[in-house]
Structure 1
Amino acid sequence: MMNKLFSVLFFLIDVWILSRGDAEVSCQLGQSCILPCRFTPGDDLEIHWFKMTPTLTEVNSFCYNDKDQWGHLDQKFGGRTSLFKDQISKGNASLQLTGVMVQDEGRYQCHTSTVTNKNTSLLTVRIVCDAEVSCQFGQSCILPCRFTPGDDLVIHWIQLTTTQAGFHSYYDNKDQLEVQDKRFRGRTSLFQEQMSKGNASLQLTGVKVQDEGPYRCLTSTITETGEFYIDMKVYAPPQKINMKQTENQIICSSDGIYPEPDLSWSISPPSSRTFQNTTRVQETEELLYNISSSLTLSDREDDLDYICTISTPSNQRRASWRRGHNPHVTIIIVLTVIGISAVVIALVFFCRRRRRNAQRKAAEVSSVASNTEIILGVGKNEGPSVIRGESLGSVMAPEESDGSAATPDETLDLDEAGGLTLARGVAGGSAVA
């Protein structure tokens, strides 16, 4: 029972120590660095150093048999860590880390135990360098390096990876690229006209994600040797955001981004309602990232602006989308408009045709009337009288009788009142009054 209580107590102490943190150490890029750790000396000593990753990466282990334990050591730290064994008996469990790299930055745990005591301390390692340079993917970038001018100049640029890749060398007054790593061939150059002024800066073209990391510039002359450390960061900002609506979803996407981006949705005007979204990230062969997210829309809210924001640690871009109408409603509206338009066109056509027919008939009636109306005379008391013929074609004036029979079918006679009377007769007969 007591053992269990002590175990729980030690666990709580460890958690408390880890939560508060004990120290922060700044380490120069490419140099050696000491991570401090103290304990109370005792028998059966064990020392364990871990880097606090999700899997607790083992950095160095030492057991009471006075031997380092390398069995579970992470390869990234192989040959780069050591303890001060002559100081262990005095309670010094500090760790020396050589060839510091950017990847070494983070939190470390030093755990010591003896027969009588257990101790855990936590420290944070910060990596510092002479310069930090941000280079855009696909562009040219200059890595700075200065030195004191002198004779017999030698310049070596090295990428500080596990293989210490040869980057660019200059000596005997010319570039020496025989051992240059093939990844950099044709992409590096020095400013040779500036060397006499102490400028050993290097230009790198066509920047790639693989170029990211620490670099060391080594310079030497007859009188002086120098080192300059640069931490190079590569970035590819989101250039364009594509947005589209598919049924009840809005899709936001962007391609060719580095480092891995974040995507978030927001609404204008702000709303307390939550919306379901799904985000997917893909890595390309160039180690860039494509990101896409779909947001499921609500049927109840139409007048909203949906804002998609894509961001990296150094860049941010956003785009907005106003939701369209329900496609089924839109189809119905379009069909309704088309139907109404067709009816209106048909009515206009019918009215115009009817008006043209009416005008044509009126013209025909007017023409017939003008051809058949004849003012035949004026009465003594009643004014003008108009005699309408029955499709006569013409009105014939009376001719003087020469004593022969009347041949016209119709004759006009003057009545006693002074008017005209139309008399119809039979050919060869006499006119009837």
Structure 2
Amino acid sequence: MELLPLVCLCLLSCSGDAVRVVVEQDSDAVLPCLISTKENITGKLFDWKKDGQKEVFMYDAGIHYNNGRTGQDEQFKGRVSHFQDQLKNGNASIKITRTKMADSGNYSCDFPRHQPSQPFIIELVVGAAPEPYIKILAETKHWRLLQCEAHGDPLPTVEWKDSDNNTLPAEKPHISERGGRSYVTVKITVTKTDNYSCVATQETLSHQVAANTSVLLAGE
């Protein structure tokens, strides 16, 4: 379950408020930028920068960093593309592939030759928790020991819930490090047939995701 609404293409004229895009690490991120008039921008100039300095992507009448233009920051080389077939609709959005934690920050989409210049600001947050992983550790006819593991940055809080959305008492969370990432693991012993959910929440990102499992106990 996602608390965040789907990010839609916004008008360049609404640049007063930054749009936040939240993605998992190693996934792709689409940063939206649509000129309000929806005019054809195939022959125009638009420039994407990170934190006001790093050159992310520049397009100028067909010339850009992926076909010969120089000046792109090393951090983004080979990972940023635009939507060529959407330029005719005023769409200057870009896609960043294989996102890294270092990609988090504020991005600006600007049409420098358009006066007055009104950069559209996008906040990219990399580190959203992916769907938790549920594992059966042990079981009998009367009970089952379940383990839920989640990761993200910031590290999410993890809760177990039953089919009525009640939060269930579980063991104390265990934090571990693996492959340069932090993981939180929470175990629970269930004693009745039901559908159970492991819910990972990152409040600062307004992000929540869950994994589900069904338990059928023969001893009931």
What is the CA RMSD across the aligned residues, in angstroms? Answer: 4.1
| Counterpart Cα distance in 1 of 2:63 and 2:80 | 14
Residue 238 of structure 1, CA deviation = 1.3
Measure how far apart 1:266 and its partner are. Answer: 4.9
Q: Is 1:151–1:222's contact at 8 Å kept on the other side of the alignment? A: no
Partner Cα distance (1:317, 1:144) in 2: 29
Counterpart code for 1:294: K
**Contact 1:262 1:311 (C-alpha < 8 Å) held by counterparts:** yes
**What's the CA shift string for 1:121-157, capped at 9, x where partnerless?**
xxxxxxx724333434444332111236579733221
Supply the distance in 1 between the matched residues of 2:193 and 2:165 (Cα, whole angstroms): 9
Match of 1:202 among 71, 91, 94: 94
The secondary structure found in structure 2 opposite 1:277 is coil
Picking from 45, 48, 63, the partner of 1:174 is 63
1:149-196 Cα distance to aligned partner (Å, 9 max, x none): 5797332211227xx332112236411453323222111012234334
- Structure 1 residues 308 and 268: CA distance shift in structure 2, 3 A: closer
Q: Could you tell me which amino acid in structure 2 is paired with residue 225 of structure 1? A: S
After superposition, what is the alpha-carbon deviation per residue over 1:306-332, rounded to whole angstroms, capped at 9, x for unaligned? 94523222322233556798xxxxxxx
Give a deviation string over 1:97-140, Cα, whole Å, max 9, x none.
xxxxxxxxxxxxxxxxxxxxxxxxxxxxxxx7243334344443
Q: 1:294 aligns with which of 176, 180, 187?
A: 187
Matched residue, 1:142 = 30
What is the CA distance between 1:217 and its match in structure 2?
0.7
Residue 207 of structure 1 aligns to a residue in which SS? coil
Match of 2:208 among 301, 308, 314: 314
Distance 1:269 1:154 in 2: 54
- CA deviation after TM superposition for structure 1 residue 228, in Å: 0.5
Query: Who is 2:78 aligned against?
Result: 186
Which residue pairs with 1:131 in the alignment? 19
CA distance in 1, matches of 2:61, 2:195: 63
Q: 2:158 aligns with which of 263, 274, 282?
A: 263
**CA radius of gyration, larger in:** 1
Return the letter of the residue paired with 2:57: H
Match of 1:250 in 2: 145
> CA offset at residue 270 of structure 1?
11
Q: Distance in 2 between matches of 1:269 and 1:188?
A: 44
Task: Give the TM-score of the pair, scaled to structure 2.
Answer: 0.63
Q: Residues 309-360 of structure 1: CA distance to partner in whole angstroms, max 9, x if unpaired? A: 23222322233556798xxxxxxxxxxxxxxxxxxxxxxxxxxxxxxxxxxx
Is the contact made by 1:261 and 1:310 (CA closer than 8 Å) also made in structure 2?
A: no
Higher relative contact order (CA 8 A, sep 6+): 2
Give the match's secondary structure for 1:210. helix
The answer (yes or no) to whether the contact 2:47–2:112 under 8 Å persists in 1 is: no
Do the aligned partners of residues 269 and 156 (structure 1) sit closer, same or farther apart at CA in structure 2, a change above 3 Å counting? closer
- What letter is aligned with 2:145? I
CA distance in 2, matches of 1:224, 1:187: 30
Letter in 2 for 1:180: Q
**Residue in structure 1 matched with residue 130 of structure 2 by the alignment:** 237
* 3-state SS of 1:226 partner: coil
Counterpart CA distance in 2 for 1:209 and 1:135 is: 10
Say which is worse superposed, 194-203 or 260-269, in terms of deviation.
260-269
Displacement after TM superposition at 1:250 (Å): 2.6
Higher helix share: 1
Give the paired residue count. 189
Q: Which runs of 5+ in 2 are unaligned?
A: 1-15, 202-206
TM-score, normalising length from structure 1? 0.36
CA distance in 2 between counterparts of 1:265 and 1:182 reads: 43
Q: Distance in 2 between matches of 1:270 and 1:224?
A: 51
Distance 1:265 1:130, change over 3 A: closer
Deviations 1:277-324 (A, max 9, x none): 12113355565x4221234x6xxx955769452322232223355679
Q: Letter of the aligned partner of 1:262 in structure 2?
A: T
Aligned-partner Cα distance in 2 for 1:286–1:178? 33
Contact 2:129/2:156 (8 A) holds in 1: no
**Helix, strand or coil for the counterpart of 2:208?**
coil
Q: Is 2:49 aligned against 1:158?
A: yes
C-alpha separation in 2, matches of 1:146 and 1:195: 9
The amino acid across from 2:107 in the alignment is: Y
2:98 aligns to what SS in structure 1?
A: coil
What is the distance in 2 between the residues matched to 1:303 and 1:173?
63
